[in-house]
Amino acid sequence: MDSPSHLTRCVSTLLPPTPTSLSFAIDDKNKSYRHQYSNLYFTRLAMLRRPVMERASAMWKDLPANAAHVPRVLDVVKSKLCWILGTVYIEMPLKPNVLEDLGRDYSIPPPPPREKFYSNEDSVMLEDESGRIKLVGEPLTSTRLVTGVIIAVLGMETAAGDFEIVDICYPDLAPFTEMNVSSDKTMDLDDNSLPRDEYLAIVSGLSIGGTPSADAHIQMIVEYLSGETGGPDDQMLASQITRLIIAGNSLCQVYGDNDDEDEENRPRKANSAAQPSFSTNPSVVLSAYLHDLASTLPVHILPGANDPAGVILPQQPFPRAMFGKAAGFETFRCETNPVWLRIECGGESEHVTANGASSSNSTSNSTPLIRSVLATAGQPVLDMYQYLPTPPSTHLSITCSTLKWRHMAPTAPDTLWCHPFREKDPFVLQETPDLYVVGGMPEFGTELVGTPTRKCRVVLVPSFSETGCLVLVNLRTLAVRCVKFVVAGMVIGETETLRDHGSSAQIHFVDK
């Protein structure tokens, strides 16, 4: 084992995108806001019609010959078994209405916002270019859908004009494009020839600018990733971290008074002017942390819902100029939200000495491996969570469902703000990533989704400011480690730890 002063940091390579890799950059051709949002639904249906039809034809190939596909939902014949294809629309009486919200602004104060918007009065519709038909049937009670999902349904029209379904077909997972050799083939080699594990670190919700006590908490993660804290085992693990993804909400959301007319009538906190509860310049503090991190390893930062970025999806990258000296590093990258990355591991390693000098060494005993990573700050999952009952739906189950729907954000643009794209829907998954990262979640979670021969690792990353959780994903095996940083007086879950003033910090590991 290398000594802590002569550790070798693994280095991964960021590869250019493939023709099928998702791109969320809004180019000059799509910057216009004059287009209707209906174009987005038509484009989505056109992009997913073929995979849904192919899978539905395979699922229902043993049906009687007269149970054929009907191209238009309005062409179904009463009492005749058939299957149709279209876009799901759910009529929800409790769903927020922008016109009603505007009306309340000029009348009575609005009621407190709801946490959930589903009810027993919800109606599920299926629509295409021709029109819309109401869906009924037992499968709808066991299958939870959201507006915007493309599906095919098997059934027949009733005398009341509804379409009673007996089966539902989804697009299912898109194909994997990265043809990687399984790492299991190296397990019969001797220990000296085994490839070295390489990790991708992911954190979300730093929320810099909140409570001043959080600064020490964030400093812990900076020192850990830099290999400046912990014992020899901790530093060895830190040297295997090849890059860091910051998945949104890096800055704390600050609420201000927007209505000057009622400013005098609003209650104020005592001594609020003399004792501010947030940093006066959080972006400078964030820039300093990013400078320390980018000098150690590659960093990818995504904007989130609380960050000073456009609220519509896909969010465009931060201006590099706002991060000061950190912007001078080639290892520092401002990304879109969402973002698709192709990472090659098993290449060269960087030998870091005690005085900071480094040199690249080839690692001939490692097999090059390409991993595709899809990362978001979590807005689509949080939006869909409001329209599904809990239980059975959870943030993790919803995220896994988006892979089977082949769409990251089906509720956009219905209830989730997004750009009015005209010729494409960028949220359609044309390929399945090896790693699907969702930040901004209330809890940590992970699951493998896919076939017996190929799987996608789904990882939910909770807020670091609330949980102290840093997620490490092994790029070779897709195994997950959750590293929890605990400072004095911090509460994790229902247990408050480190009340003893003699202890300053602890690191906990949870392997999945």
Secondary structure letter of residue 113 according to DSSP: P
- Model pTM above 0.75: yes
Q: Please give the average pLDDT of every successive group of 10 residues along the chain, which has 512 residues.
A: 64 87 84 81 95 94 83 92 95 78 61 81 93 93 91 94 95 86 39 69 90 75 87 87 95 59 40 43 90 94 92 94 91 96 73 37 59 96 94 94 97 92 91 96 95 93 92 94 77 39 47 64
Secondary structure letter of residue 115 according to DSSP: S
Q: In this predicted structure, what is the pLDDT of residue 323?
A: 92
pLDDT tens column, 296-311 = 999 999 999 999 888 8
* CA 343 from centre of chain: 17
Q: In which residue ranges of the chain is CATH 3.60.21.50 found?
A: 13-31+196-253+281-347+366-511
Q: In which residue ranges of the chain is CATH 2.40.50.430 found?
A: 37-169
Q: Distance (Å, rounded) from C-alpha 143 to C-alpha 137?
A: 11
**CB 291, CB 326: distance < 8 Å:** yes
Q: Distance (Å, rounded) from C-alpha 189 to C-alpha 245?
A: 32
pLDDT tens column, 343-373 = 998 755 443 333 333 444 444 445 678 999 9
DSSP-derived pairing of the beta strands 241-247 and 469-474: unpaired
For 501, the token pair is 């003033």
Q: In this predicted structure, what is the pLDDT of residue 192?
A: 44
- Strands, E, within 97-180: which ranges? 123-127, 132-136, 150-157, 163-169
Strand partners, 300: 245, 333
Q: In this predicted structure, what is the pLDDT of residue 260?
A: 43
We find that the CATH architecture of domain 37-169 is Beta Barrel (2.40)
What are the phi and psi torsion angles at 231 (to 5°)? -85, -175
Q: In this predicted structure, what is the pLDDT of residue 105?
A: 60
**CB 406, CB 151: distance < 8 Å:** no
Q: In this predicted structure, what is the pLDDT of residue 398?
A: 97
> 6 by DSSP, 3-state: which?
helix
Q: In this predicted structure, what is the pLDDT of residue 418?
A: 93
Q: In this predicted structure, what is the pLDDT of residue 270?
A: 37
**Fold type of domain 13-31+196-253+281-347+366-511:** Purple Acid Phosphatase; chain A, domain 2 (3.60.21)
Q: Distance (Å, rounded) from C-alpha 221 to C-alpha 225?
A: 6
Rounded to 5 degrees, what angle do the CA atoms 251, 253, 254 make?
120
End-to-end, the C-alpha distance of the chain in Å comes to 25
